[in-house]
Amino acid sequence: MVKPAVDFRTLSIVERLQLVEDLWDSIAHDTEAVPVAEADLRVAEHRLAEHRRDPASAIPWDQVRDELYKRGG
Residue 3 placed within a domain: no
- Torsion-angle region of 29 (φ positive above 0: left; ψ -120 to 50: alpha; else: beta): alpha
In sequence order, which residues have a C-beta less than 8 Å from that of residue 15 and are 6 or more positions away?
none
Residue 4 placed within a domain: no
Residue 49 placed within a domain: yes
Say how many domains are in the chain.
1
Residue 20 placed within a domain: yes
What is the pLDDT averaged over residues 45-57? 95
Residue 1 placed within a domain: no
| 14-28 pLDDT per residue, tens | 999 999 999 999 988
Q: What percentage of residues in the chain have a pLDDT greater than 70?
A: 99
Determine the Cα–Cα distance for residues 5 and 41; give it in Å rounded to an integer: 35
What is the pLDDT averaged over residues 35-42? 94
User: Residue 34: what pLDDT?
Assistant: 80
Of the candidates 67, 47, 66, the one whose C-alpha atom is nearest the C-alpha of residue 58 is: 47
Q: Domain range spanning residue 49?
A: 10-71
Residue 52 placed within a domain: yes
What is the pLDDT averaged over residues 55-71? 92
User: Residue 73: what pLDDT?
Assistant: 55
Residue 41 CB-density burial (10 A; 0-12 exposed, 13-18 middle, 19+ buried): exposed
